[in-house]
Structure 1
């Protein structure tokens, strides 16, 4: 018994003596705004894409502007409600969305700063859309249940619901002592919504084509450009090294995606100990990636903002990913350090400025 105890102690000691904690070195760091929280909402798509556009404004103009996430959310709810009704309820109506929904909203409705449209009504300090979403759903389903006896105009009811929970829509405002409309404010930022493209990598569609990706939150039928997995990684790495940040849509349901530890990895043995100790990761192939997508182990759970690159003590590449869950109770000040393996396996798509795409790949995609 004594010998067995000594053997167990020896194994335990050897395990921890050979285990290494993570040590990271930042290699690329694109300027961005502070980490904030989306609160009790399903609007990560607006928070992450707004953060992405804030970095784009800084890259293009040198200005730091805190954009209103809720101005975009408000208009996207209206567009989503229209789609839901016109499809007679045969579409998704939820809080979710994708990055191109933000780009579509910017193109149609412009931008406003957060200080003039916070979306926090009735003295709220944090975003909470549970009652808003339920109220909108009730309006739409009641109308569709019997359009002939619906007592009022459903479109007006949707707008009044948004007015109540988010605040009235805004058409003119003052910012830095200058008068703007949402469209003139967009012009001031120099952003051009037509410059942004969504890129993915799946084998069920031809590479270097574009197609509508059939995922639940793609209510607007947005187009995705399809590239090889190696090219998806190359586009991401090249963009970051050249000062562009990236909008990311990915799966965060894995037990080795942890905001608590600030890590997202794909350990070869599947052990959650890899969140603490450096470990070997799985080799991610296009076939394995496709398999995980088709069996629904990879879904479009969450959108975030890639703002940099790091490497660990073994030289493994990680992405510095800005989350929208705030800084409380998380490591890395609200950022996730995502390994290249996790990115390859769990990325649904990226949204990026077309000038960030390497010329050789841009030519294959016919991007002007």
Structure 2
């Protein structure tokens, strides 16, 4: 019997929503349909602004969550129409929400009371509204249970990467490059390691938007025409987070315009294109270093997320990993913009089946946990 789930993902790149209809049967999950919707300019700006403290945050966040749920609902409607099916034909929707803060294990420690630091993670969403608008059960809030169990709450996709990209007896590295980049190492011995390894597209997109008014550097063409500044690159690579051992996760809480501005102060004579070239090299170098350190025996690096469409970034990754075949996830049967959305369809199915969705080896949680909260239609 085939089961259908919908996965929805709006990542830290803030470019919009990707939605997939995934069919589960005896074989590996299959993406039957993909639809996407860009964010309206004002919604993107508000979601970006809510990543940093500001006035009237609770009210603004609630309204942004409502608006996000409506974009999600439109993508669901497009998927149902495209597949020629009804809401009742879908078991559930997995909706990750929009991460605006991610501060795991930073707050709440009390040695006298024996309390470990838990911190928090916050994904804007209104899953109740989404269930109401679509008529489909919604699974959301995937990160918080792992966090409560002492984990980072992220990344959650390595378990799905193992499902779709794992090869028996072979170590495989999978790199998702969204706003933040995360690496999954699928060991030949069936072990899995995963962590956030650098800024991905976030800083490149910010710099491109600021200086060209384009939301991203298409194909990396602007960066490819510039020259990497070696001293600036070394300053960027000096970020202490990069040297931390996993488990670890990060976000725009760290890699944001303020972080970049502080490091650019001694380099204000550089042309914007030089800085774009250096930011691209920074993202590639941070990712390549993680692969070299934690996936030494992998002969291939499967890249997904929007970064896989950046030709120059992919070339710089290949240059940094000359012994590894760097390829788009499309070469392994799953286009790069579908992977994360498909992961949340897969996680939603795990939740409904009361199966663990996290990997303690990845997040550092005390054990495997059933993730997510269910909002019945």
TM-score over 0.5 (shorter chain): no
* Greater Rg over alpha carbons, structure: 1
- If the TM-score is normalised by the length of the shorter chain, which range does it land in? 0.3 to 0.5
TM-score in terms of structure 2 length: 0.34
TM-score in terms of structure 1 length: 0.34
